[in-house]
Chains A and B, each alone.
Chain A
């Protein structure tokens, strides 16, 4: 028998209590794994979807405000700009806007396929069809699979913002291409159609564009290019704000709030609750064993060794709960992957390492009070309690 055997036996002394504690810890680590997993996927998606030399120009008020179409050519000619395209948010949905909304942009096909070449992968003939066909639409693979769309299908795409002159909110579009992302696991749930078709048919907001995306000569030229563009439109009716793509994506995704802050808050609250529950239970559990700790010390177990055994028990408990939580969290991430807007939801090794470190810390903290109490406990006092 080893100290670890003794620790394990004591841990399972009251199986129901131990199982309930493990479930509490498991839930906290399940929350941790899912939220941190999401956060990692989100950060990774920002890195992967952003090109270091791609800038985004929006209206300075906010990105929901449009820019005059006339800006596009002036931006494209700004110093340091090698290529440019534009996109306009359409507020797209299919049939029922409560259940089937998705990302839809009206774009200039030729330049958009150049500027976002690494994100929109499809055969050359489909690209050419998109450039050629005025009502053509290209659809992300996941979106096409979801609705069963195939190349050649004509589909009615509606807008929750715009309407046509005849009062209709649906635009008939012909699927001319189905694209995949840079990685097979990337989520492809957007569609793109011709700006020309959109601009001719909408009843308001004509000759306006949502944003301009541009490529610079290199990341080192970004700041100067951004400053030059924004200076060009300073004091105009539509001032611009030019930022790198990662900054823009982050601000877009954080419309609903600071994701990092929310995740930190939720995870901290979960662990604080667990600290109280497990800490309190460990104090009770060790107090119940006062007499046995007195016996161990009497037969020669040193106080530091008893302290290590009590801490070992709380750390072991924490590790079991954390391990189960991380495993379930990993499975949950896989199950949620198809719903995530960030692409693959992998259980990153760094998340496992963080969970391990937190579990050890949590175990040490929850075991600290009972362990110190066991360390200080006098044999005479301990043996007098039954």
Chain B
């Protein structure tokens, strides 16, 4: 069994709402092995997205340690975290979050602007990523010219184009019909099984969770039970 890619140790996080402090996690610990595909489920407000944000370095814990591939990320500065995210994490959002002014290929190229790759190498990587999501023929289309499923596949291509170890998906099928959702989930499963990407997926959909290797249930900031996917 490969080692843990992500380890959270006694992580606490709370938010302020006016004068009130709302605790999301208190001393939460967990680990995710390399190559895992984890679905995180739970009711609204259970802390799923907050946990995803902490793992992805887009939010900071109040206390505790977050270790990624042997190195702590909770101690990194803002600019170091940005560079770390660019190199190690791909993000897939519920509403795709593509740049409407860019073509599919240009959207996929965005993370590569943060690398020192040559123009030619970048173009090759973009073509490869679009081929993986089976959208090579839509490279020049703008997001508004694509269906929801196609836009999400472009978003997945953008997430994998810089070959990150970790993919974080926040409700990736929440805006899609069942058939398209299954298509996207099969693609994520493929990325996990064939390319060894570690995937953490937040979802409300039990059907989506079945595509993961295991499911973590969060409630009020605590894991309540674990299940196994397909």
Interface residues of A (CB under 8 A from B): 1-3, 6, 9-10, 12-13, 291-292, 295-304, 379-380, 383, 386
Main secondary structure of the interface of B (DSSP, over half): helix
Contacts of A298 in B (CB 8 A): 56, 58, 85, 91
Q: State the Cβ distance, B96 to closest chain A Cβ, in Å.
A: 10
Complex-state Cα separation, A298 to B113, whole angstroms: 14
Q: State the Cβ distance, B74 to closest chain A Cβ, in Å.
A: 16
Complex-state Cα separation, A304 to B83, whole angstroms: 12
B91 and A299 form a contact (CB under 8 A): yes
Q: Is B183 an interface residue (CB 8 A)?
A: no
Q: Is B9 an interface residue (CB 8 A)?
A: no
A302 and B79 form a contact (CB under 8 A): yes
**Interface pairs (10), CB distance under 8 Å:** A1-B110, A9-B99, A9-B102, A10-B101, A295-B93, A297-B82, A302-B78, A302-B82, A379-B53, A383-B58
Q: State the Cβ distance, A295 to closest chain B Cβ, in Å.
A: 5
B83 and A379 form a contact (CB under 8 A): no
Complex-state Cα separation, A10 to B102, whole angstroms: 9
Indicate with 1 or 0, residue by residue over B69-109, a CB within 8 angstroms of chain A CB atoms.
00000000011001101110001010101011110001001
Q: State the Cβ distance, A289 to closest chain B Cβ, in Å.
A: 9
**Smallest Cβ-Cβ distance to B91: which chain A residue:** A298
Q: How many A-B residue pairs have CB under 8 A?
A: 67
Complex-state Cα separation, A380 to B49, whole angstroms: 10
B113 and A302 form a contact (CB under 8 A): no
Complex-state Cα separation, A298 to B96, whole angstroms: 13
Q: How large is the interface on B (under 10, 10 to 19, 20 to 34, 35 or more residues)?
A: 20 to 34
Q: State the Cβ distance, A41 to closest chain B Cβ, in Å.
A: 44
B101 and A13 form a contact (CB under 8 A): yes
Q: Which of A300, A302, A304, A380 has the most CB of B within 10 A?
A: A300
**Smallest Cβ-Cβ distance to A297: which chain B residue:** B82
A380 and B53 form a contact (CB under 8 A): yes
B86 and A299 form a contact (CB under 8 A): yes
Indicate with 1 or 0, residue by residue over B29-60, a CB within 8 angstroms of chain A CB atoms.
00000000000000000000000010010110
A9 and B97 form a contact (CB under 8 A): no
**Smallest Cβ-Cβ distance to A294: which chain B residue:** B97
Contacts of B100 in A (CB 8 A): 13
Q: Is B114 an interface residue (CB 8 A)?
A: yes
Q: Which of the residues B59, B95, B158 comes within 8 Å of A299, measured between beta carbons?
A: B158
Q: Is B229 an interface residue (CB 8 A)?
A: no
B86 and A300 form a contact (CB under 8 A): yes
**Smallest Cβ-Cβ distance to B112: which chain A residue:** A1
Q: State the Cβ distance, A293 to closest chain B Cβ, in Å.
A: 11
Q: Which of A1, A379, A383, A386 has the most CB of B within 10 A?
A: A1
B97 and A295 form a contact (CB under 8 A): yes
